[in-house]
Amino acid sequence: MQDQPKYKDLRGSALFEDRRSARPLPEDTVARGTLHADTRFATGKENGQPVAVLPIPLSRALLARGRDRYRIFCTPCHGLTGDGVGIVVQRGFRRPNSFHIDRLRAAPIGYFFDVETRGFGLMQDYSAQIPPEDRWAIAAYVRALQLSQGAALSDVPAEERPALESPEAPARPKPLPLETDDWKGASGGKPVPPAGEGH
């Protein structure tokens, strides 16, 4: 097997007139899984601008999938409600913008898809980890979070309001401290040596 006839990457070849073993792709070749016939769906943009309308049908199943994917990929930084105080932020990572600021409330839904696809600032892109269908589901769920956090009691149907006043609802836990040196409180400000080390 070691001596079998083959071309190694970017080695020359006497067989072809241009002396290259790596052949150029035929014109209009599309790699499997990369055909983007619907550019609005694949990029979140139309004529270079973020789309304002979800390019797939909105459904309860889509929002449920978006919530599921959001909890996996987004809550570490953005938090469960999109306020930007996720667990890594509480441990010292730079805080992202809240989804509830005016600029992001006014942003078209394609903007969120584009940020998920290409990243923004310190946020990495998630195009390799999250397929386009799930990125749209997350974008739809972010829009639902924005609506839920900006809703007034009058937006809730009268028959649903008693559920909001339920005394059985659990209290929201107190957020973790945003200081990164919270060890000082437990040790009186003095570093604690590892166990087993004496003075």
pLDDT score for 1: 62
Residue 117's nearest CA partner among 136, 101, 103, 100 is: 136
Predicted pLDDT of residue 79: 95
DSSP label of 158 = G
**What is the spatial distance between Cα 122 and Cα 79, in angstroms, rounded to a whole number?**
16
Contact 121, 93 (CB under 8 A): no
Name the residue type at position 199.
Answer: H
Pick the CATH number of 75-150 from 3.40.5, 1.10.760, 3.30.70, 2.60.40: 1.10.760
**Which residue type is seen at 129?**
Q
CA angle 195, 93, 150 (to 5 degrees): 130
Q: Which amino acid is at 76?
A: P
Q: Are 8 and 20 in contact (CB under 8 A)?
A: no
Give 24's pLDDT tier (boundaries 50, 70, 90): confident
Indicate the pLDDT class of residue 181, thresholds 50, 70 and 90. Answer: low
**Span 88-120, pLDDT tens digits:** 999 999 999 999 999 999 999 999 999 999 999
Across 123-140, average pLDDT:
96
Question: Element (H or E) spanning 49, and its range?
Answer: strand 49-50
pLDDT in the model for residue 151: 83
135: tokens are: 């990125």
DSSP 46: E
Nearest to 142 by CA among 83, 87, 99, 185: 99
